[in-house]
Amino acid sequence: MAVDLTSNLAGIVSPNPFWLASAPPTNTYGQVARAFDCGWGGAVWKTIGQPIVNVYSRYGGIDLGTQRLIGLNNIELITDRPIEDNLKEMKLVKKRYPKHALIASLMVESKREVWHEIVKRTHGETGCDGFELNFGCPHGMSERGMGAAVGQVPEYCQQIVEWVKEVSTIPVITKLTPNVADMTYPARAAKRGGTDAVSAINTINSLVGVDLDLMAPRPNVAGKGSHGGYCGPAVKPIALNFVSSMAADPELQGLPISGIGGISTWKDAAEFIALGCANVQVCTAVMHYGFRIVEDMCDGLANWMEQKGYQKLTDFQGRAVPSIQKWENLDLNHFIRAHIDEATCIGCELCFIACEDGAHQALALAPKNGKRLVEVKEDMCVGCNLCSLVCPVPGCITMRKVENGAPSVSWKQHCAGAGALAPRPQHYNTVEE
Amino acid sequence: MSIRIASADRQLSAADVAHNFAELHPALTEAEALAESARCLYCYDAPCTQACPTHIDVPSFIKKIHNDNLKGAARVILDANPLGHSCARACPVQVLCEGACVMLQQEHRAVAIGRLQRHATDAVLAQGWKLFSAGAPTGKKVAVVGAGPAGLACAQELRRAGHAVVVFDARKQPGGLTTFAIAQYKIRPDTALAEAKTILDLGVELRSGVQVGVDLTFEQLERDFDAVFLGVGLGATQALGIPGEDAAGVVDALTFIEQLKTRPYGTVAAPARVLVIGAGNTAVDAATQARRLGAAHVAFVYRRSEDEAPAYGFELDLAKASGCTFHWLTAPARVLVEGDRVTGLECVRMKLGAPDASGRKGVSPVPKSEHVLPCDLVIKALGQSKRGDLLRQVEKLQLDSAGRVVIDEEGRTSNPRYFAGGDCVNGGKEIVNAAADGKRAAGAISIFLKGT
Ligand SMILES: Cc1cc2nc3c(=O)[nH]c(=O)nc-3n(C[C@H](O)[C@H](O)[C@H](O)COP(=O)(O)OP(=O)(O)OC[C@H]3O[C@@H](n4cnc5c(N)ncnc54)[C@H](O)[C@@H]3O)c2cc1C
Ligand SMILES: Cc1cc2nc3c(=O)[nH]c(=O)nc-3n(C[C@H](O)[C@H](O)[C@H](O)COP(=O)(O)O)c2cc1C
Ligand code: SF4
């Protein structure tokens, strides 16, 4: 069975759902051409606007153990290249790669004529397939009233989308900032303004660390620093949550989403698509490993889809959305309990101390025939998962369903007087009188 | 690992022998594969890939293992190297991919590329994945002589290109030396045969038990096929040329190893005292496996010193770790036989002299140094003979002075319809070289067939 990875975001078709996000990898013709040769399906050009000047020293990273760059922070601004150069190179890309998606990312000051001017000029001079409005940058540009300064105020979002839609003849994607409490508000505003799609997330306001010798933040510029935008694998859960909140929002139904944030592998991408995204965009993973990573993104996704019997992306797009619910709808009588496989346990006792000090005191040290083992106190386990999350042995601790015979009941139902709670474990009383 | 040794009052059981032949590089567990794949830095223009004669994209397949795309990983491996199963187990990775790993500089421990490769390729056999399919038929027919690594690699690529392929092998079963010669603690015949089957399943016809040159002439092949690939490997072990060599207690390494690999554990025993003549990789394999069959004393007899020994250092280390000992600078002169029983090997001591033409130090006997090394079995491991006699039957096929087929860098011989690769071309290297040769030659054959 052949799997078709073709994606369609608001009418913008690309050979696969993997686009480069607007960022340094899409600075130049050479980069984007190389990326398309490696197999990327589309690219959002590095944001163009009034030329800016950048500082030297722009990025800071977070490592975890030997894994470098699980998070990346930047204090870079939009493109620092002349607009003519950007437009000329975008045109060349579109000419050489007519089947790939080429999106122009825009950010200019909040004036109707300025937006009209850049929209008309960019489309006219490049033949790009769509626009992405950068309402996201949380640093630098926002101090000048652009980027996140727009994205955080729904009225401004709506206003600028309206201006763009007044003159744009191609699809418009509004890129939203995660530096808000609830993304559905700016998304709804963008929708009211007529946006054809939204993309999320841009970078998260952050300060990645402090150099304790210099007493200055990282990255530092001549001993001083500024808050920056955070991205990379560490931000994926935050991005997934924003994306799912939009996918599940009744007012936003039918508004296509381009998922961004911490995507490094085909699995990450599949999760975004399962939460409703029509395609995904990638920045940090490419900055870390290069364009070549797209090969496994396509191959892995296709192999998985084939195994699952999905022939096209829309076969599973949004499939996980209905299962994301309010807490009040979760079944309070669904009991699970930790089970430790004695045969594969290596005796590190990390589960024990995690549960003992950090959770519910439901594990006991129980060596057997000289082998270090841990036992589950069945009447104490609340099925929180912590032990299985800290266990270093794959499959050793599993969470198993406990049949308590109690019919399912949610908090909402329970409060409405419909259904009884099954009896639950009590914490041991450890207070010494 | 402790080797169980037989004694006068204790024969080894099949279970003892199985214990002794435990795999040197066992399969990784899921947890190990995850942790080990995380160590790979995903180098750009990776040195491991450059070091592999088949240029497997190592970082790519390791990343795929890590990203839970095992099938994709296996495809990367087997697309580059059709013998990826055997190579994962038997390649001398220390001098190839793992020897080039940048982690050697960082942590003094290379990423376990071979074992990760096995992790991915094992899944192919376990899951029965069909990774490749035959190409659209071209109407051309190619004969492949020899179902060893070179012939099988060539056959896979020819089928993928859509040519009809018939593989001839003198033996009953395919795989060549991967089935019959590689140390049992590296690869078992069933794995080698399963690997061969994945290739034959592409629609390759195997005619086994057919010795080309005897049962079937090269002229007949030329009549029935558009092109011929020669992957006939090497011949029998070379003779010692000393008195007593024909005694029953003298065996050549290849026969010794083939027997222990093809008969059930417990049915092949080694006597208490074994001498292995030679110090190449085959000698090491014979010695380490004689120990594993239960021999109490196994010693190498080699006319030069350890520095000149042709075996890889890590193979000599394995021999030492297996409890073998060495008689360096010792040359065999005569096998001592009583009745039909070997009792010892008469040897002379040698001394090193100035380097000879090959650059190795010359050796000469020390006068009056004759001495007897008592033994029950002598294993000859002097290297395999070339196939000149067979190959001279092919018209206009150029051989070099050592009897190896001369090819260009794409595997073409001097006879336009003949292509060649593997041990019969390089004089005896590794599986991976044979696989690279066979695959490359298939490309040249396709180009040749386009013009016919
Ligand atoms: C003891 C030993 C241990 C080894 N260990 C390793 C190892 O650990 N790792 C490694 O990488 N390499 C090892 N090698 C080397 C490796 O086995 C060879 O390099 C490789 O098998 C060569 O492949 P080939 O296809 O050229 O030849 P072969 O494997 O020799 O295959 C040739 C085939 O051609 C057939 N044939 C020959 N003549 C005819 C004919 N006239 N008609 C029909 N069929 C014919 C033979 O029956 C055989 O099946 C070892 C070799 C030996 C001898
Ligand atoms: C150095 C750097 C520069 C960026 N510049 C831009 C930009 O000019 N315009 C924009 O819309 N997003 C910009 N981004 C944000 C990315 O497009 C993307 O939204 C974010 O990095 C999250 O994706 P990731 O986790 O895959 O990196 C930039 C990110 C980085 C790291
Ligand atoms: S990646 Fe290194 S070499 Fe390249 S611009 Fe940045 S600091 Fe300079």
Does residue B446 have its Cβ closer than 6 Å to ligand 1?
no
**CA nearest neighbour of B165 among B198, B149, B142, B181:** B142
- Better pLDDT: A2 or B375: B375
Cα A66 to averaged position of ligand 1 atoms, centre (Å): 42
Report which of A53, A1, A2, A9 is spatially closest to residue A272, judged by C-alpha positions. A9
Question: Is the Cβ of A341 closer than 8 Å to some Cβ of chain B?
Answer: no
May I ask the CATH architecture of the domain A7-323? Alpha-Beta Barrel (3.20)
Say if residue A137's pLDDT is above 90: no
Which pair of structure tokens corresponds to residue B179?
């089935």
The span from the CA of A307 to the CA of A301, in Å, is: 10
Specify the ligand 2 atom closest to the Cα of A78. 8
Which spans in A139-280 are helix H? 148-151, 154-167, 184-193, 236-247, 266-274
Task: Enumerate the domain spans of chain B.
Answer: 25-127, 141-234+385-449, 250-380
Q: Tell me: pLDDT of B240 over 80.
A: yes
Domain boundaries, chain A: 7-323, 327-415
DSSP-assigned states of every residue in B37-70: HHH----TT-HHHHHSTT---HHHHHHHHHTT-H
Mean pLDDT of A241-262: 97
In this structure, CATH architecture of domain A327-415: 2-Layer Sandwich (3.30)
What's the maximum distance between 2 C-alpha atoms anywhere in chain A? Answer: 81
Any atom of ligand 1 within 6 Å of the Cβ of B145: yes
Q: Is the pLDDT assigned to residue B305 strictly greater than 90?
A: yes
Q: Is B31 on the interface with A (CB under 8 A)?
A: yes
Q: Which amino acid is at A246?
A: M
**pLDDT of B59 higher than 90:** yes
Domain B141-234+385-449 in this protein, CATH class: alpha beta
**Two domains, one topology: B25-127 and B141-234+385-449:** no
pLDDT attached to residue A311 = 98
Residue B151 confidence (pLDDT)? 98
pLDDT at A145 over 90: no
Distance A57 CA to ligand 3 centre (A): 9
Return the minimum-mean-pLDDT range out of A128-142, B20-34, B410-424: A128-142
ipTM surpasses cut 0.85: yes
Residue B250 reports pLDDT greater than 70: yes
Average pLDDT of the residues of chain A: 95
| Closest approach atom of ligand 2 to CA A203 | 20
CA B405 to each of CA B223, B400, B421, B422: distance values in angstroms, whole numbers, following the listed order: 22, 6, 8, 10
pLDDT at A426: 78
Ligand 1 in contact with B429 (CB < 6 A)?
yes
CA dist list (Å): B66 to A18, B31, B123, B351: 20, 11, 14, 54
What distance in Å separates residue A25's CA from the closest CA in chain B? 17
Residue A233 is classified by DSSP as: G
The Cα B404–Cα B425 span in angstroms is 5
Residue type at position B372: V
pLDDT at A87: 98
Distance of residue A365 Cα from the nearest chain B Cα, in angstroms? 24
What is the average pLDDT score of chain B? 96
Asked if A232 and A71 count as a contact pair (C-beta separation under 8 A), the reply is yes
Question: What's the whole-number mean pLDDT along residues A200-214?
Answer: 95
- Write out chain B residues lying below 8 Å of A66, CB-based: 38-39
pLDDT of residue B259: 96
Whether A415 sits among the annotated catalytic residues: the reply is: no
Average pLDDT (B155-176) is 98
Distance, CA of A343 to CA of B123 (rounded, Å):
23
Residue B68 to residue A303, Cβ atoms within 8 A: no
Nearest alpha carbon to residue B19 among B33, B38, B31, B5? B5
Q: Above 80 in pLDDT, residue A375?
A: yes
**Coil, helix or strand for B265?**
coil
The residue with tokens 């959770």 is A359
**According to CATH, what is the number of the domain B25-127?**
1.10.1060.10
The set of long-range contacts for B23-27, using a CB threshold of 8 Å and a minimum separation of 24, is: B23/B185, B23/B186, B24/B183, B24/B185, B24/B186, B24/B318, B25/B89, B25/B114, B25/B115, B25/B118, B25/B186, B27/B115, B27/B118, B27/B119, B27/B122
Q: Kindly state whether B32 is in contact with chain A, defined as any CB-CB distance less than 8 angstroms.
A: no
- Interface list for B 72-91 with A (CB within 8 A): 72, 75
Name the band, by pLDDT with cuts 50, 70 and 90, for residue A274. Answer: very high
Which of A137, A277, A351, A391 is catalytic? The answer is A137
CATH fold of B250-380? FAD/NAD(P)-binding domain (3.50.50)
Dist. CA B358–CA A226, nearest whole Å: 67
Number of the ligand closest to the Cα of A131: 2
